[in-house]
Amino acid sequence: MKISVIVSTYNGSHYIIEQLDSIRTQTRPADEVIISDDRSSDETPAIVTDYISKYNLQDKWTFSVNPENKGFIKNFLDGAKRSTGDLILFCDQDDVWEKEKIEELEKVMVEKDADAAYCLLTTIDSDGNFVKDGPNRFKKVRGKGEVTKLTIEDRMRSGRSSGLALILKRDLLDEVEKISTKYEIPHDLPVGLIATVNGKYYQLNKALVRHRVHTNNVSSFETGILDSSKSLKRQIDSRIFKVRELKALTGEYSDKLTDKQLKQAQEAITMHEAAIEALNNRKAGKLIGSLFKSNKMVNKLLTMRNIVYVIRKK
């Protein structure tokens, strides 16, 4: 199968070479690497151009600068649409891939006939040091096997489809773009949603990406509950995107859900909307109360982060 890697860059001069190195030295090389720069004002375009020339990558790697700033979502999607691979991986500019990432994820896709899959993460700081208390972002879920199939209930309860960890079939792209545009959610969320609804979404229980946490990255995961509680906008946005994703689930795929699943989705939407209101109004009591409800869709870790934020800001 042909594999394409889509890299979105924007003012990434500090870390881009380390990421490009990790793509170039994969045990299973990509057949195509498409790098799209979203009008950087730093040296990123020159660095990438020189890198491709230095390693004679012109046959498989392409680099272009957008005529105008598109934003990271459209930049990724447009890059993916220009690709020719059967399988696609998205790549942030400041992370580091373990050498076996492509090989391991391709194996899952082939052996499971998956629509999409993702790996686990470790966290590094701006200097590349592992963060001792950083989250292995996606914890191992039900089952002890190396590969775990995700259910619709798993999807409703938590996201588990960060773009930097994903691999997906090209066949999903049109539907991904439609859902992303219609419901105004990042491109990676529909991937997990669609693949889960199709019964073909898998988690590889191996950490194959070192996610770099620093002040400038767009999709920054927090290094712990206290650190994660510093940004109100991030707390609220995560809930808003989840509401939109759940509305996409019930609005587009209701015919594939059981009555129980539809009810759970509606309850989850109500729960998230209440949490958004509580965050906006700094009402810790309402958030604490949700921890004791019987709704299995409650993401307790997310709720705990919300509570810590509200308490710290009082």
Please say whether the dihedral angle defined by the alpha carbons of residues 106, 112, 114 and 118, taken in this order, is positive or negative. Answer: negative
The CATH number linked to 126 is 3.90.550.10
Question: Are 39 and 183 members of one domain?
Answer: yes
* Any domain includes 219: no
Assigned domain for 285 exists: yes
Count: domains in the chain: 2
DSSP string, 66-132: -SS---HHHHHHHHHHH---SEEEEE-SS-EE-TTHHHHHHHHHHHHT-SEEEEEEEEE-TTS-B-T
- Computed on alpha carbons and rounded to an integer, the radius of gyration of the chain in Å comes to 19
Domain shared by 119 and 233, yes or no:
no
Does residue 119 lie in a domain region? yes
- pLDDT (tens place) for every residue of the chain, 314 residues total: 999 999 999 999 999 999 999 999 999 999 999 999 999 999 999 999 999 999 999 999 999 999 999 999 999 999 999 999 999 999 999 999 999 999 999 999 999 999 999 999 999 998 999 987 555 555 555 444 599 999 999 999 876 568 999 999 999 999 999 999 999 999 999 999 999 999 999 999 999 999 998 765 554 444 444 454 457 788 889 889 999 999 999 999 999 999 999 999 999 999 899 889 988 887 777 777 777 665 666 677 777 777 877 777 65
Q: Are residues 168 and 301 in the same domain?
A: no
If asked whether residues 58 and 197 sit together in one domain, one would say yes
Domain extent, residue 307, equals 225-313
Contact 134, 228 (CB under 8 A): no
Query: Do 307 and 195 sit in the same domain of this protein?
Result: no
Nearest C-alpha neighbor of 229 from the set 136, 281, 301, 174: 301
Last residue of a domain, one of 212, 243, 264: 212
61 shares its domain with 121: yes
Query: Which of 190, 212, 234 is a domain's end point?
Result: 212
The reply to whether 309 and 276 lie within a common domain is yes
Other CB atoms within 10 Å distance of the CB of residue 191: 30
Question: Using an 8 Å Cβ cutoff, are 107 and 202 in contact?
Answer: no
45: in domain: yes
